[in-house]
Amino acid sequence: MHILIVANRKNPRTLDALFQITAYLDSQGIGHSQMDVADLPDCAFPYDGTADTDPAGRCDLIITLGGDGTILHAARLAFALEAPILGINFGHLGFLANAAPDGVIALLADALSGEILSEHRMNLRIEVACAGDEEEPPEGPRTFFALNEIAIARGALGHIVDFDFSISDDKIASMRGDGLVVATATGSTAYALSAGGPLVGPSHRGMIAVPLAPHTLNSRAIVAEHHDVVEVRFAEGSSSAREASLFADGDALAFERPLESVTVSVGEHPTTLLTCRQESFYKQVSRTFFD
């Protein structure tokens, strides 16, 4: 067995936990390696990318020491390695990461003995097409991963974005506004929530599409099915195609040519989170957003 420990070293509280965990794993004869969250693959890491960024070359479990953001960054690598994530919370909300009231070693021991739950969270496969890709193939892959969401947003010049929005080849609308967020159920408590989207139970297998500040009185978030495909398409040569920005789990994706389309579907296999939380998702929602 080999465990990869990902720590947010900017948070001093993680350092003591890191020392405790490595000492415990050594005492149990379990192999381990470490990475700082800053050294994890960024959002440009291709969806079908290899896992050669893992210093061990293989991994049976990823432990994250930080907040939910640390889990989001580690999820890209976990997806490539098909490894579960045990998040230990040293952040703020802790929607994804576990509290460790009895200490990090007790939590880790429970995880290694199979005494905590596995949650299977849907993620996103994001395919981007740019102008001229057919005549001049891009240098790198244009298929990316996100656990929370992909946001298509207005660019640095701040101009409104024009785009066509469809689900499973059925056109929903031609829209003008700040853009569109396509989120998983996990991401329904993040950017999509701030944009007015619904809170969705974490076991939902589909996507949520939420317009961003649409310039219309007729706009609603849409909860899509697991098999649906969400597509955003820009008019060829339009200023929106040149200026619109993409953000996967909050990190910017950059392209050398104007955008043509963004196609979003549910990932091929879910992200597994190990959890020991005692309260339900709805209790957590009530405590976090309504109290």
Catalytic residues: 68
CA gap 171, 246 in Å, rounded:
21
- Note whether 7 and 65 are within 8 A (CB): yes
Which of 197, 190, 231 minimizes the C-alpha distance to 214?
197
Parallel/antiparallel/unpaired status of strands 208-212 and 179-183: antiparallel
- Note whether 238 and 223 are within 8 A (CB): no
Q: 161: which 2 tokens? A: 């974005």
E-strand spans in the chain? 2-7, 31-36, 61-66, 85-89, 117-121, 124-130, 143-146, 149-153, 161-167, 170-177, 179-183, 208-212, 222-223, 230-233, 245-248, 251-253, 259-266, 271-275
CA gap 89, 98 in Å, rounded:
5
- Note whether 81 and 54 are within 8 A (CB): yes
Find the DSSP H helices in 99-150: 104-112
Is the alpha carbon torsion for 99, 105, 109, 112 positive or negative?
A: positive
